Chains A and B, each alone.
Chain A
Amino acid sequence: MGRKLLLDKAHIEGIRYYDTYRSNGGYAAAEKALKSMGPEGVLEEVKKSGLRGRGGAGFPTGLKWSFIAKPEGVPRYLVCNADESEPGTFKDRYLMEFIPHLLIEGLLISSFALGANSAYIYIRGEYAWIPDILEQAIAEAKNKGWLGKNIMGTGFDLEIYVQRGAGAYICGEETALIESLEGKRGNPRIKPPFPAVKGLWMCPTVVNNVETLAAVVPIINIGGDEYIKYGTGKSTGTKLISACGNINKPGVYEIEMNISVEEFIYSDEYCGGIKNGKRLKACIPGGSSVPVLPANLLLKTAKGEARMMTYESLADGGFATGSMLGSGGFIVMDEDQCIVRNTLTFARFYHHESCGQCSPCREGTGWMKKVLQNIENGKGKMSDIDLLWDIQRKIEGNTICPLGDAAAWPVAAAIRHFRDEFEWHITHSDEALTRNFGLAHYADPLPVPEPAAV
């Protein structure tokens, strides 16, 4: 069994409520942080832990916190990004639904470290039932003196507010989230200035993912030095992975970042193998925005090493042969799945979710969707593949926010690794309407280049 830090008590009945949470060691970290560590101590511990943002980009959290501007007399804000809308990712939902107090404790400690007296949880509108759970937990915590004025006699004040989004993927982008929180249209801001300098209401703001904030609790509990012993290298600690697709046991798993992808998919502790004894064709290891990998590149890197469930190993080989850990939305596809159709689904999603502020993303996502629709419906032309490649290349990197990149990468990776499937869809357009391309050679072992002679 892998060691757990976040979900170790998730199985306890009633952990959602304060009394059970408290009697199982809850708020011990908050007590420790507030009473004996001080804000600098907490920041130091988080820096030491090497915790990386769990929302997708993997930016070191301690570093992000240290960037926050601290002008006199200006309030600072902590915003919890619970706008988890990435297709394939549902880890934060689990965390908030079953152990809301873990998030609140994390928010309390983080706000204390940052000197923020107001914290906001921006939660996606589709999670309609979770704000009630969070608000109930906030009320309980407030009742017991963990929120409000002069928390536990330390003189630190904190209020946590829950704000519902209105159903926009783009509001998961931190500056769009801030705009939306201010009551405006959720358009990403142009950076700089970064939120750490001018964020919510033009005040210094830190935006962190739910899981990141929750992970602060075990870091304070066990200490940064101990936390580093979990995981490998720069991928410290544990990560929640929401596994879905053609696997026997879809769900949210907490993994220590030292297991291989193969183990994660096939071991009974996690995904339990591919459903119905089928073979693995492809996998999107980090939510819909990250490049898709065929089975052979997923299990082994281009160098022939086993691919591990870490930030570094999944990104090994760059975009040519690698992918990203992203937000941990692990989508597994078996041999019966069609990559073209899957790419179309994602393109349709990004077309629908583009905010329409900057032109490459506004126009390009719709164009890619329409071209992919043609290919999928048997009306594609060979030139369409190169056209798609060209469109995605002109979107990527030329937009205000990363949504443009996120829309371009899945298309780019699908064409890069599955070009023959696209071609088959075009040359066998009638057949493509009735059957899928199948596994083909996508699981064949790749030739590993010989290491250069010394």
Chain B
Amino acid sequence: MAEEKKLFKVKIDNISVEVEPGTTILNAARKIGGDVVPPAMCYYSKLQGSGGKCRTCLVKVSKGSEADPRPMPKLVASCRTTVMDGMEVANITSPEVLEARKGVVEFLLLNHPLDCPVCDQAGECHLQDLSYEHGADSTRYEFKRRTFDKIDIGDKIKLHMTRCILCYRCVYTADQLTNKREHGILGRGDASEISTYISQSLDNDFIGNVIDVCPVGALTDQTFRFKNRVWFLKPVDAHRNCENEKCCGKTVLWMRGDEVFRVTARKDKYGEVEDFICDTCRFDKKEAKDWVIEGPRKIDRHSVISQGHYVNTVTPKDPLVEVLSGRQPKLLFDIHSESQVNRPDVDLSKIDGPAHSDDFKK
């Protein structure tokens, strides 16, 4: 008999869940799902070493573990803190956490240009969702925001550093998916920026994935920029046999009519890519005939992208027909025969000028 793995019992917002040792608090919360999942801007489950930087996923550990029940002195980043047996975590039940998270959102938005109306990421932007859910409705910042010039890193990717929240995801992506990372963080503090050391173009079969992992509109697809708003497009699942053996070939095509506007990897409900795709699939296969279309992509109905796509909506069934076994309901009386006012034989549109009581004389 296989030895049973000991599972750790964790309580998040008073909801119990059993997870394997070594799981982070965030992933334990994702196992529960719903509102207790802390938001994450920099953590990416597919990228090793990511997380811990944006501080939006801060939670309060009110009981360290069964063995050591002391609470942790500070709020901890749930994406990088592993669970202990008997740990009790407060996320949305802790006012302290909500307060801190509101602060973090405010900090993230301080230097963000809020140019959502012209930003290609709008509609699928994590920062947009985060500020909608956790942010304040106005800012207390009265100073000039930092700005950068837009730069082309390669002919397919545009970097607009002004929007960047420095989550480092693209750096980890380049580190872990490509054989040589050519971009990174320059400078420090609020002057730090994502860039290549001496203007280089990023050139690798998998570098396009930085567009998908970017939580904001800092890295955008030049083949799609300003072509369309994402919520006017219909996402469909599609696949092709990709020549690149590291590429899974499973994508989402963003179409209008027969036109493929852009190709992205498939993202799960936390906005994380399920499988990374290569740049050939992403940038070069922009025709429907290149792909085997599987069907419409399921989009969360709370997302703006699902507006106008009534794919999964269900019209409530009218039970009357069933109840009456096919008969039409019998009317008690004809309203027109009883009413003194309703005279279908008098056509108001045919009366010259305003109607007068004389017009209804029998």
Chain A residues at the B interface, C-beta cutoff of 8 Å: 168, 170, 185, 190, 351-360, 362-367, 370, 387, 390, 393-394, 397-400
B187 contacts partner chain A, Cβ-Cβ < 8 Å = yes
C-alpha gap A370/B111 in the complex (Å): 13
* Extra A-B contacts (15), CB below 8 Å, given A356-B189, A366-B189, A394-B100: A354-B189, A354-B190, A355-B189, A356-B185, A356-B187, A356-B192, A359-B54, A362-B190, A362-B192, A370-B143, A394-B99, A394-B104, A397-B75, A398-B103, A400-B77
Q: 7 tightest A-B contacts by CB?
A: A394-B103, A356-B192, A363-B107, A190-B52, A354-B189, A363-B110, A397-B74
A392 to chain B, nearest CB (A): 11
A interface SS class: helix
> Is A359 a contact of B55 with CB atoms below 8 Å?
yes
Known contacts A360-B55, A394-B107; is-contact A168 B188 (Cβ 8 Å): yes
Q: Smallest distance from the beta carbon of A169 to chain B beta carbons, Å?
A: 10
In angstroms, Cα B75 to Cα A168, docked, is 27
Identify B190's interface contact among A356, A387, A397, CB under 8 A: A356
Cβ-defined partner of A359 (8 Å) among B141, B165, B185: B165
> What's the least CB distance linking A130 to chain B, in Å?
24
A363–B108 contact, CB under 8 A? yes
- Tell me whether B53 is interfacial, beta carbon within 8 Å: yes
B43-57 toward A: CB 8 Å interface, digit per residue (1/0)? 000000001111100
Residues of B within 8 A of A400 (CB): 52-53, 77
CB distance from B107 to the nearest CB of A (A): 4
Asked if B55 contacts A351 (CB within 8 A), the reply is no
Q: Is B191 in contact with chain A by the CB < 8 A criterion?
A: yes
Nearest CB of A to B313, in Å: 38
- Residue pair B185, A185 in contact (C-beta under 8 Å): yes
Contact, CB under 8 Å: A360 / B103? yes
Interface residues of B toward A: which range? 20 to 34
Establish whether residues A367 and B189, one from each chain, have CB atoms under 8 Å apart when the complex forms.
no
Pairs across A and B, CB under 8 Å, 27 listed: A168-B188, A185-B184, A190-B51, A190-B52, A190-B80, A351-B189, A353-B188, A353-B189, A355-B189, A355-B192, A356-B187, A356-B189, A356-B191, A357-B166, A358-B52, A359-B53, A359-B166, A360-B55, A362-B189, A366-B110, A367-B107, A367-B143, A393-B103, A394-B104, A394-B106, A397-B75, A400-B53
Q: Closest residue to A366 on the B side, CB-wise? A: B190
The digit string for B183-226, where 1 denotes a CB below 8 A from any CB of A, is 01101111110000000000000000000000000000000000
Cβ contacts under 8 Å, A351 to chain B: 189-190
Question: CA A397 – CA B103 in complex, angstroms?
Answer: 12
B97 to chain A, nearest CB (A): 10
CB-CB < 8 A to B74: which residues of A? 397-398
Shortest B39–chain A CB gap in Å is 13
A363 touches B103 (CB 8 A): no
In whole angstroms, what is the CA distance A95 to B262 when docked? 63
* B189 surroundings in chain A (CB, below 8 A): 351-356, 362, 365-366
Closest to B56 in A: A359
Most central of A351, A355, A357 by chain B CB within 10 Å: A357
In whole angstroms, how far apart are the Cα atoms of A345 and B304 in the complex? 46
B99 — which chain A residues lie within 8 A by C-beta?
394
Q: How far is the CA of A359 from the CA of B188 in the complex (A)?
A: 12
Q: Given the complex, which residues of A lie within 8 Å of B55, measured CB to CB?
A: 358-360, 398-399
